[in-house]
Amino acid sequence: MSAETMQTHDLTGRSIIAGERVTGGGRTINGYNPATNEILEPGYSLIDESQLTAATEAAAEAFESFSQLDPETHAAFLEKVAENIEAAAEPLTERVMAETGLPQARVQGERGRTVNQLRLFAAVVRQGDFRGTRWDTADPERQPLPKPDVRQRMIPLGPVAVFGASNFPLAFSVAGGDTASALAAGCPVVFKAHNAHPGTSEIVGAAITAAVKEIGMHPGVFSLIYGPGASIGQALASDPAIKAVGFTGSRGAGLALMKAAAAREVPIPVYAEMSSINPVFFFDGLLEDTVSQGAEATQKLATAYLGSVTGSSGQLCTSPGLVFVPTGANGDAFLAAVAEAAKPAAGQTMLTQSIAASWNEGVEQLASQDGVELVGRGTDGAGENAPAPVVYQASTPAFRDNPVLHEEIFGAASLVIRYDSAEDLVSAAQKLEGQLTATLHLTEADHKQAAPLIPVLEGKVGRILANGWPTGVEVNHAMVHGGPFPATSDSRTTSVGTRAIERFLRPVAYQNLPESLLPKPVQTENPWKLNRRVNGTITLAD
């Protein structure tokens, strides 16, 4: 079935293993509409571990041919996936909205990000710098020992297991960043669908499967499986054919995957994005300047803050869950504006009933802590899964001493910490766990106060930004979407941007190999026209 003919009623409720529709041997699950709690058809049969092995073995069989694709064929495959997703735009948008409660504009924007990301990686594959080719030429006359001919390139790790995220049903899901970067690296993918949006996953999985067939590749390059999260997830991370894991989700699930991967006979890397509260730091000069401009300017800043907190019902990994505001009149004026901005803010439908329940539990726990006070609350939205946004406040001593104040509440909730001085702010920042982002709101007059904070934040986060909001992650060559634990399991990597491909590669050196045995990327004639470093000097391709 091609992506061009895919319609909502074509959903089969089955996994796609190496190009074949497979009925699972386990129980059946359904998606449901979180705005109405309506059950969505069809039901999806969950595979068992024996069926999982068929997917991983097919991926292993596909690895040799897929990892050696020439750049043009490889790039064309990624572009074909993007084309097929666009061809299925109408039924895909309809199904995403039904399974997530997300508005049409958000879904369309996320679909655009997904296909653009695939095309960006196609350009990376064609350009070829990710292959990291190096060549130290031989010098047989060198004394006291001859210098060998040594060449190096980066090669793909092998089949990768990717787990779908609940909050991004497209951009961090079946054809999202982990899948796109793994496929771009030359790694087959076995994708574990998120059970909250099975129909969305099947439509996109069919688009990838069609692209594999249309390009004429081994069908094991991609499989989409439905299974019980804990057991199949653990089995997938433990399968000897799998050589790396990409995951976006809760800290508990991420840690479980890391444990399973580390306990294998041959351990493998797990690239897990898990939790972040993304601190925002307001400096007094910025607030003084804003307040001096009048109530309208102060309200505009407060509204922008609330917009970042409540966007997509706060279900973004970069949502600002923690905000530092100075004590004094300027900070008081800002929080008064926040309280006003919160009043008309209506709750938006959360992705699942369980996520809404977890949000309520987290808010209740935060509100019960000593020294925590309510700043502002919005109104409940339509349906039981659309709780009112909330903002609380506490002092820096409370923040330093109470670990509950450091916990992520996934959804539209934020905690303001009032600080007394630059030293107080740095001391509080030093207590932060690893985060994805940190944001500074400041003027030039604040630079001296902010300077001591920068090295602290460099040790805590993956992205530092100024006078903006952390929500909204640009997909480009320079972006870092990662950070120290527990934001991610490996602070050396990013899951967004072209450097995401590096997670699924490793270096291999070739010393004194005959030319006929060298792989094309490191051959003397450079048939793939790659830029390379020769004797330490970057040499551009002809």
Catalytic residues: 273, 317
Token duo for residue 351: 């992705």
CB-based contact 410:166 (threshold 8 Å): no
Torsion of CA 482, 446, 319, 333, to 10 degrees: 170
* 324 strand-pairing partners: 281, 417
d(CA 325, CA 287): 9
CB-based contact 21:175 (threshold 8 Å): no
d(CA 24, CA 262): 28
Task: Give the closest residue to 165 by CA, choosing from 201, 206, 189.
Answer: 201
CB-based contact 54:159 (threshold 8 Å): no
Distances (CA, A) of 487 to 31, 256, 295, 374, 481: 28, 15, 36, 27, 10
Number of H-type helices and E-type strands within the chain? 16, 23
CB atoms within 10 A of CB 508: 12
Token duo for residue 473: 């992650």
CB-based contact 522:510 (threshold 8 Å): yes
Please confirm whether the linkage preceding 486 is cis (ω < 30° from 0). Answer: yes
